[in-house]
A and B are shown apart, each in its own frame.
Chain A
Amino acid sequence: MQPIYLTGHSRPVRKVMFNFDGDMLFTCSDDGKVCMYNSYDQSRVGVFNVNQAVKSIDVSKDTKYLLASSTTEGYQIFDCMTGQLISKIAIPRSSIQVKHVEFALGDQQFLVVYEHAKRSYIRIQDTASALKGQTNPDGVFEVEGPQDHLITQASWGPLNQTLYIATNKGKFYIHDLSSSKTIVEEDVHNSEIFSFNVTYDHTMLITCSKDGTAKLLHPRSLEVVRLFNFVKPCRAACISPLFDSQENQKFHVLLAGGQDARDVTTSKASEGGFEIKLMNIIYNQSLAEILGHFGTVHTLAISPDGINFVSGSEDGYVHFHKFLPEYFTKKFE
């Protein structure tokens, strides 16, 4: 079915996400805006102006606060209902690059991944202190990233006790917060891990990398369980939340990516690899390819009910897809 094109952005879309209930869709872009959509009728509800390229966003579980990164400054917190800027926090270091932000389960804390002088840092702050604004740096502590590696994404582990950390040289760490030590360390990919996706119950972890593969890892031991071949650099992966559904249980994953933006003009259209692939996790079978984007797909999100999915791309468009009724039949098991 033809997707709905959401044209809220004028620059590459960096992240799309649904809120916890699935009724709101947030997208962010390099053009310095965060758009909020109603995910039922796809109407734009609000725009948050950051005035800086936004590489990453996150929404608190009760959809009260929006945390947005402001690439060269720090991060900002907005009120979702009114759209007001609550606090604007600059990281007290020069020439930084904020890469990733994420709320912990329960919204008590959040983490910010940033880069400074070729080292990566993970800054963890209490939400309460952040809401007070720049003045009070209470409850802030930083985790220094490994040497020679740059962190591309970090996420909270089970019960917020650990951190999953992926780097640009294919390494994957599990960092224990209480002892502040690395528990598990594994060379998963040959080249940069662009992103990874964990299910809410921490049973499945998928990494995707520049080397053209996506890997399903054991989230405790980081053992490779399945290897998905995407051929072109894989930038985003998203596990369908239907894996624990009672009626139609599906172990499916969406993979997207494609060649680098700079190669697009020098190669054939068919070499792009901008198709979104739907794969079965268990049998490692390709089920469908969804066409539409004409630029690298940076981000994917599936709605919590597993009926819709959204993709954001280098071309500035956000595509809102609905799975066809056929998808919920036996054919797509």
Chain B
Amino acid sequence: MSISFEEALAKVNGSESFKKIQQLYPNIGFEQEILGNPELGEQIRSACSNQQLTIEDPRKVSDAPKLDEDFSKYFVINNLPICDADKSKKLIQLLIKLYQKKEITFSEADITMPLNEQGMTEGVAFFLASSEEKAKLAAAIMNNYQFDKKHLLSASQINDFEKIMQAKDLASGPKSSSLIDLRDPMLDTKREQFLFQLSKDVHIKWHQIHEQTSSRNVIENVLQSDRPVLWSPKGTYLIVIKHDKVEFHGGKEMQPIITIPEPKVENVSMSPCEKFVLTYAPTQKSPYVVWDFQLVEQIRDFDQKTGESFQTYQWSHDGQYLAKKFIQEIKKEGSDEVEKEKRGLSVYKLPGMELIATDEGVKKSITVDGIEDWAWAPHKNIIVYSCFPSDDNQHPRIGFLEIPSRRTTIKTFASSKRFVLYFHPQGDYLAVMNEYQQKKTTKYSVELFDTKKNSFPHQQILVNRDVLEFTAIIWEPNHSKMAVHTLSKRIVEAGKKDYTLDAKRNGVDIYEMIDDPIKGFITRTIGFLPSEKVTKFSFSGSGDIFTVFEQEPKNASVSFYMILKQQPENVGPAQPVTKKGLSSQVNKLQSTEEKYEFKKTAKQDIYETKFEDVWDQTGRYLAIYGVKRSPLDKTVKSLKFYNIFGEALGSYDQLQNLQQFKWRPRPQGVLKQKDITKLKSEYKTKFLKKFKEEEKSEKKEVNNVVKESKKKIRDEFLSKFFMPLRKEFEEQIDKYEQLWPIKEKDMHSQEVEIEIIYAFDSVLRETKIN
């Protein structure tokens, strides 16, 4: 493919097209380009030889060679001291040294410091790191670094830089933002952020226990959004949907960082890795569009099919795949009758958005006969589905489909009528509500699977109550407890009379999963919490704490419970057992004797007719807020916070048009399991003291504020109200005493007995008796 310049020029020269090219690019000589890049020469040549009069910019032709636009390894440092060329070398050496301290190595060749016309630097240095992660890290280190007295450095990746430039155009005044800035809210471990939306106004606030210490507002001004706003899965961005675009706000100031120019979007879902975005604009021709988030490029769009909604498409836990269920009707030729239905799952791999390939390399969707319900596992690339095959000889089943290997594990259940899948929030377990027919009666069972293990060990819990209504299965986040909320027929115990007329009884069964080397895992019953009017049940993520919502005729209430382990009284101190086998047996026996107790810590009334409850991600705080009964409901709602013991912390009242409330999510899985265990073991020695001291000083500060405000109130009360009146009285005391000796000492003295009042062995008062 080598061609000499003369040849190329000779072929091109004189033709009209070449003149046109020269007009288009008057500054380019073309000699070097054609020699240096034979492909480009070929391009021009073929274009010219075809006598095409419409000449496109060769860089824009679809098959044109692309420039390396990947700047991910680069980052830039701004606001360095300005110096001449000689000194700049010293500066580079200094920077290398600085990075060596942080164990990041750069050579001189990796650093470029551009000079201007006067031969001076412009205070900017470009760095090339060995990898993207290194670049991120190195930029983060140097950002906001006090280089010397005058120079505060700012650093960012080139990619981020583009984002920042975009943000600056939109925001008023110069503001800086960087990766650290984006992650800013996560660095505050004590306070949680939340938002609530009043019609179009979005308020973002801090949740803190002590109100006085600092401002509660995250940002001063109020954001505007036409539709309900969302947090991104890791909480980095706030997704604001406007009528002509979708904005992603982030950073300390909540500026728009990235904008997707898609009009009339109704819903947005971001992949859990925050790299891809799916938008849904139902009025557009292709309503479903998958975007590359960082480049703001469309990857693929989908048409609307009947029966599909925004929830049809689901991201996998790491954002690697997007899946949907499809139902294809195969019609007989020539007639409209539906002969057969083909059902299955389509799984697309990102970033290409192509169907995943089979072992043979054929890109195909996965056919699952009679699929009903399906879900991604929250921790692995596994799809769990329930299906009722059309073939009567096959039993209903639950399938575990591994992606991309398509390896399927199937568990069948005879005579099942309905399945509902409930995944543990961390994906440790899967519970399936199984409604089945047994001798003309409908019965319920809970099928449990340990999804951590590859073989999916299975356990069954039979709900042996006369269940009228199966409300839900609730998992405890971060732990392995599960609650089954049912409405069942009342069972009157023998020898006890039933005084209530209501034959139904709500209740919650609580179970715990325990790892077992033989069976995979076993279940243990913790207890049954009978409650007549329980409407809702929720677990806190902090462990062993749950809340029960009860509806009474006039108002609702929430009760906070703690699960306490009750040690059997007769078990003495553990006796040393010599044989190993024996000791394990003893342990087992003890474990079966363990009893649990539900301790009610608090009960709070809720004055809302309809409400929602949300625990924050750490499980430390519960928020309860009022929900509109109908779209036209214009009454004011309230938002209240409680801690795990049920103490009311704070509230917002008089919220007109409250649309939604959301805690800001925190990124999960930042630390590896090893680091977490290490942190846990080091917590007591390293951090406990520090945290306690911080807490103490904070408390002190708050107390001081409270004390001062109290003192002010007291002084005002005394000086403005009480003391003037008292003074008046004291001035007139002679007149009063003429009428009656008011003070005891004024009475004429007599010999008296003394009566001493004791309370708890201490003298309270000595009194004279006449």
Contact of A21 with B770 at beta-carbon distance under 8 Å, contacts A40-B755, A283-B713 already known: yes
Q: A218-B721, A307-B757, A325-B759 are in contact. Are A23 and B769 (CB under 8 A)?
A: yes
Task: Please give the distance in Å from A274's CB to the nearest CB on chain B.
Answer: 18
Question: When chains A and B are docked, how far (Å) is the Cα of A85 from the Cα of B740?
Answer: 25
* Interchain CB contact under 8 A, B770 and A325: no
| B732 lies within 8 A of A159 (CB) | yes
Q: Could you tell me the distance in whole angstroms from the C-beta of B119 to the nearest C-beta in chain A? A: 72
Q: Tell me, rounded to whole Å, the shortest Cβ–Cβ distance linking B738 to chain A.
A: 8
Q: Which A residues from 140 to 163 make CB contacts under 8 A with B?
A: 158-160
Query: Is B596 at the interface (CB under 8 A from chain A)?
Result: no
Q: Are A203 and B729 in contact (CB under 8 A)?
A: yes
* B737 CB to nearest chain A CB (Å): 10
Whether A106 sits at the interface, judged by CB under 8 Å, is: yes
A322 contacts partner chain B, Cβ-Cβ < 8 Å: yes
Stretch at the interface among B285-293, B433-441, B760-768: B760-768
A263 located at the interface, meaning its Cβ lies under 8 Å from any Cβ of chain B in the complex? no
CA distance A21 to B717 in the complex (A): 29
Neighbouring A residues of B713 by C-beta, 8 Å: 282-283
Chain A, 67-94, contact with B by CB distance < 8 Å: what is the 0/1 string? 0000000000000000000000000000
Q: Which residues of A contact B759 (CB under 8 A)?
A: 322, 324-325
Encode contact with B along A11-50: 1 for CB under 8 Å, 0 otherwise: 0000000000111000000000000000010000000000
CB distance from B741 to the nearest CB of A (A): 9
Question: Distance in Å from the Cβ of B313 to the closest Cβ of chain A?
Answer: 50
Do A159 and B739 have beta carbons less than 8 Å apart?
Answer: yes
Closest to A205 in B: B725
Q: In the complex, what residues of A have CB within 8 A of residue B736's CB? A: 105, 159
**A307 contacts B726, CB within 8 Å?**
no
Interface residues on A, range: 20 to 34
A130 → B minimal CB distance (Å): 18
Given the known interface contacts A105-B736, A159-B736, A325-B760, the answer about A201 and B769 at a Cβ–Cβ threshold of 8 Å is no
Is A305 at the interface (CB under 8 A from chain B)?
A: yes
Q: CB of A204 within 8 A of chain B?
A: yes
A311 to chain B, nearest CB (A): 19
Choice from B710, B722, B742, B765 contacting A203 with Cβ under 8 Å: B722
A160/B769 contact (C-beta < 8 A), A225-B721, A283-B710, A325-B759 known? no
- A282 near B714: Cβ-Cβ < 8 Å: yes
Residue A219 CB within 8 A of the other chain: yes
Interface check B245, CB cutoff 8 A: no
Interface check A61, CB cutoff 8 A = yes
Band of interface residues on B: 20 to 34
Q: B732: which of A158, A220, A307 is its contact (CB, 8 Å)? A: A158
Q: Which residues of B contact A218 (CB under 8 A)?
A: 721, 725
Interface hits, A202-223 → B, CB 8 Å: 202-204, 218-220
In the complex the two chains form, is B740's CB within 8 Å of A105's CB?
A: yes
- Interfacial chain A residues near B735, Cβ < 8 Å: 159
Which residues of B are found within 8 Å of A203, using beta-carbon distances? 722, 725-726, 729
- Evaluate whether A219 and B725 lie within 8 angstroms (CB atoms) in the complex, with A307-B764, A322-B759 already known: yes
Q: Could you say which residues of chain B place their CB within 8 Å of the CB of A322? A: 759
| Complex alpha-carbon distance, A283 and B712, angstroms | 10
Chain A hits for B755, CB < 8 A: 40
Within the complex, which residue of B714, B742, B765, B767 is in contact with A200, where a contact is CB–CB below 8 Å? B742
Once the chains bind, are A325 and B764 in contact (CB under 8 Å)? yes
Q: Which residues of A contact B714 (CB under 8 A)?
A: 282-283
Residue ID in chain A nearest B710 by CB atoms: A283
Instruction: Mark interface residues in B720-756 (1 if CB within 8 Å of A CB, else 0).
Output: 0110011001001001100110100000000000010
A160 contacts B739, C-beta separation under 8 Å: yes
Contacts of A61 in B (CB 8 A): 740
Determine if B739 and A307 form an interchain contact, defined as CB atoms under 8 angstroms apart.
Answer: no
The answer to whether B725 and A307 touch across the interface, beta carbons within 8 angstroms, is no
CB-defined contacts of A324 to chain B, threshold 8 Å: 759
Q: Distance in Å from the Cβ of B220 to the closest Cβ of chain A?
A: 32
Distance between B715 CB and nearest chain A CB, rounded to angstroms: 10
Instruction: Flag if A202 contacts B725 (CB, 8 Å).
Output: yes
A107 to B740: give the CA distance in the assembly, Å. Answer: 8
Which residues on the A side are within 8 Å of B726 (C-beta)? 201, 203, 244
Report chain A residues within 8 Å CB of B762: 325
Known: A159-B735, A282-B714. A307 touches B742 (CB 8 A): no
Nearest-CB residue, chain B, relative to A244 = B726
Bound-state Cα–Cα, A303 to B280, Å: 74
* Shortest distance from the beta carbon of A279 to any chain B beta carbon, whole Å: 14
Complex-state Cα separation, A139 to B693, whole angstroms: 74
Knowing A158-B732, A159-B732 touch, does A282 contact B717 (C-beta < 8 A)?
Answer: yes
Partner-B contacts on A (CB < 8 A) = 21-23, 40, 61, 105-108, 158-160, 200-204, 218-220, 225, 244, 251, 281-283, 305, 307, 322, 324-325
List 11 A–B pairs whose Cβ atoms lie within 8 Å, in order of A's numbering. A21-B770, A22-B767, A105-B736, A106-B739, A106-B740, A107-B740, A158-B729, A159-B735, A201-B725, A305-B765, A307-B764
